[in-house]
Amino acid sequence: MKNQTYSNKGWKNVLLIVVPYLVVGGAFQFIALRVAGLEFSSEVLTTDKHFFIIALFDLLVAFLLVAVFTVYFVKDSFISVGFRPGFILTDIFVGISTGFVIMFISLLILVQTGQVEVKNVDRNVVDGLWIFGTFVFVGISEELLLRGYVLNNLMVSFNKYTALVISSALFAFMHIANPNLDMLGFAGLFFAGLFLGYAYIITQNLWLPIALHFSWNFFQSFFGFNVSGNDFYSFVITTFQKENIWNGGDFGFEGSLISLIFQPLMIVSLYFIFRKRNIETRMSDRLK
């Protein structure tokens, strides 16, 4: 087995994109708010349509910067960040079904234990479509930036597990300004970063983490939870008498102990689900 050679170039590429991301991202945020007819303040994001517009412009920023920095500074193709062909539909199916199952089971557990009460359903199709689009955009943009660019480059400078921890911490800190964030919510975001990052490492593509990220957010909202502190449209209307470590309170499912239990279990599950594919891929590479 060959020893991995690490280079300072990876973490330098990560630092290189920070200031442009803040500047260009800020400019696009301003444009997005003006397109939505709003002032430059996160407090005015009161409708699902507002979040959709912001998420769309965030996606444009992520594609623009990751493409430019990957091609001109990393000196690699844009596809190399994780848009390689192969297993696309399989990975998307696994990702979407995983998010659905986790959120559905979690809702059942919380309802049966009296931590959450289902009050009603909201059949507003338009609002449902707004959040569907929003979480598609969020899943693609955050995975493209955090896993496709940041984690990918960090693995040039560190072993994959060190790079995974660093990128997961960055993912959690990116959400530090989210409303209702507490220590358990921060831990939930960190473990979400580990979960999504490991999905990227084990498949060597973005299809699975994008699908996981989308379904994690979408089905949280669909089944009545807040998403990272934000209140989006929910098909299932839920309530709780008291905020606690089990229901996640106003931060949502990511701020719950159940979330912290599920995510390490899913990391282990991903290992066994994709282990055979990785063995076959390595054997194929050796034969080339």
Within 13 Å of residue 119, how many CA atoms lie on the same side as its CB?
Answer: 10
At 280 the pLDDT is 57
pLDDT of 17 strictly over 80? yes
pLDDT of 100 strictly over 70? yes
Least confident of 31-40, 85-94, 121-130, 272-281: 272-281
The rounded radius of gyration (Å) of the Cα atoms in the chain is 19
pLDDT of 123 strictly over 60? yes
At 167 the pLDDT is 98
H or E segment at 24? helix 9-35
Least confident of 35-44, 101-110, 199-208, 228-237: 35-44
Chain-centroid distance, C-alpha 141:
9
pLDDT of 221 strictly over 60? yes
Give DSSP secondary structure letters for 79-130. Answer: GGGT--SSSHHHHHHHHHHHHHHHHHHHHHHHHHTTS-EEEEE---HHHHHH
Task: Please tell me which residue, 88 or 286, carries the higher pLDDT value.
Answer: 88
pLDDT of 283 strictly over 50? no
* The residue count for the chain: 288
At 275 the pLDDT is 84
Q: Quick one: average pLDDT of 154-175?
A: 97
Residue percentage of the chain with pLDDT more than 70: 93
Q: The tokens of 74 are what?
A: 């990393």
**Which residues lie closer than 8 Å to 104 by C-beta, 6 or more apart?**
219, 223
Residue 116 to residue 108: CA distance in whole angstroms: 9
At 45 the pLDDT is 63
pLDDT of 19 strictly over 90? yes
At 111 the pLDDT is 95
Q: Tell me how far CA of residue 284 lies from CA of 2, 129, 199, 218, 272, in angstroms.
A: 17, 42, 21, 36, 19
pLDDT of 284 strictly over 80? no
At 287 the pLDDT is 44
pTM, rounded to two decimals: 0.93
At 37 the pLDDT is 81
- At 34, is the pLDDT very low, low, confident or very high (cuts 50, 70, 90)? confident
At 104 the pLDDT is 97
**What is the pLDDT of the chain when averaged over all its residues?**
92
